[in-house]
Structure 1
Amino acid sequence: MKRINVVGTSASGKSTFSKALAQQLKLSYIELDDLFWLDDWQESSDQEFFKKVQQKINQAPEGYVIDGNYTRTQKIKWEQIDTIIWLDLPFHINFYRSVKRALHRVFSQQPLWISSNNTESFKSLFARDSIVFWMVKTHQKNREKYLKILNDPQYSDIQFIHLRSRKDINEFLTRSKL
């Protein structure tokens, strides 16, 4: 495991897990949200986003842990990937985590990523494009997408690790320390 993509629904713990795994394996950490979002919730164009992702991959010849889904980057991310780790927690846990995280971010007002000034607000918390509604809308779609990929012979050369509970996640991180 040297080139890893951690995927899963919003609030599944991708960032926390990816940072810990990258540190344990002494690999670079690449956060797709940080590369995608510009100041004031502006989105990077695909061309610019793809360029940033490729640059980060190129800057990590020793290996990396990519944190995030962004299906449109799949061709770039998975060209050299050797492992996909899917954090597939039950809906009720993702929902609870997304609400808790959003509320914490509203009150803390800390920027969400290093490369932008974006913060959460009460207004955005209840908007149609809020992270909570996004999680609700994409949870089942993500599950179907990754189950399909898991069984697709096209990706048989990629190790696919499916973690379904907090216990699975903690045990995996513990084993990775060894």
Structure 2
Amino acid sequence: MNDKSYNRILIIGCSGAGKSTLSVELAERLRLPVLHLDALFWNEGWVPTPNPEFREKLQNELKKPAWIIDGNFNSTIEMRAQYADLIIFLDFPNWLCLSRVFKRRWMYRGKTRPDMAEGCPEKIDWEFVKFIWTYPKKKRPGVLQMLERANAEVIILKSPKEVERWLAVLHKGDMD
């Protein structure tokens, strides 16, 4: 990260890439509030918020002066990108994301993750596995096109090691 301070950070990437983990880490370091899109979209029992209502709730959050927002939801990615001053794309291999999702499922079996709406216990179904496995071919190209058009600074991190190195540089910059 350069000397510029960021108030609106968007973290995107495939499910299982570590978006929520990174957003919490950044929130602690930069003292910014976090919004997990999953928690905004899902209601108890995995009931989705209707799209018009979801977009309205999201728009209200985007207007706030400072935030870190993590999540996929390609239907709102352009909308979120317009407000961000930094976009971090966790561009990890699908096999890694899938293995992390299975690990997460085991860790939170029968429980709701901290970044999820209450009453939505961790689950995996075939559709979700297929989404993750096909993400590089089906979703990634559109994400990269959107990033090319973004007015925000864009950082693409391709591995957990790159995230660690970037956080180390960020930490040094915070100490100066």
Asked if these proteins are the same fold (TM beyond 0.5), I'd say: yes
Asked whether the equivalents of residues 24 and 176 of structure 1 are also in contact (C-alpha less than 8 Å), the reply is no
**Structure 2 residue 84 is matched with structure 1 residue 90:** no
Match of 2:17 among 12, 15, 20: 12
Partner of 1:132: 129
The answer for the alignment partner of 1:48 in structure 2 is 53
Residue 116 of structure 1 is matched in structure 2 by 118
* 2:140 paired residue among 139, 143, 151: 143
Is 2:14–2:91's contact at 8 Å kept on the other side of the alignment?
A: yes
Cα distance, 1:10 vs structure 2: 0.4
* Distance verdict in 2 for CA 1:73–1:41, change over 3 Å: same
Matched, 1:158 2:152: yes
Map of 2:3 onto structure 1: none
Amino acid at match of 2:119: N
Matched, 1:31 2:36: yes
Percentage of identical aligned residues? 30
Aligned length: 166
Q: What are the superposed Cα offsets for residues 48-73 of structure 1, whole Å, 9 maximum, x if unpaired?
A: 11122123234x42x11110121222
Measured after TM superposition, the shift of residue 102 of structure 1 is 1.8
Structure 2 Cα separation of the partners of residues 9 and 172 of structure 1: 19
> 2:38 touches 2:116 (CA, 8 Å); kept in 1?
no
* Distance (Å, rounded) in 2 between the aligned partners of 1:3 and 1:135: 26
- 2:45 aligned counterpart, secondary structure: helix
Q: 1:96 to 1:128 in 2, by over 3 A?
A: closer
Contact 2:42/2:116, CA 8 A, preserved across alignment: no
- Distance (Å, rounded) in 2 between the aligned partners of 1:133 and 1:119: 20
- Structure 1: stretches of 5+ with no match in the other structure: none
Q: 1:75, CA displacement in angstroms?
A: 4.2
**Alpha-carbon shift at residue 11 of structure 1 (Å):** 0.2
**Corresponding residue for 2:68?**
65
Assess if the C-alpha contact under 8 Å between 2:78 and 2:146 holds in 1.
no
1:138 Cα deviation after fit: 2.3
Unmatched segments (≥5 aa) in structure 2: 1-5
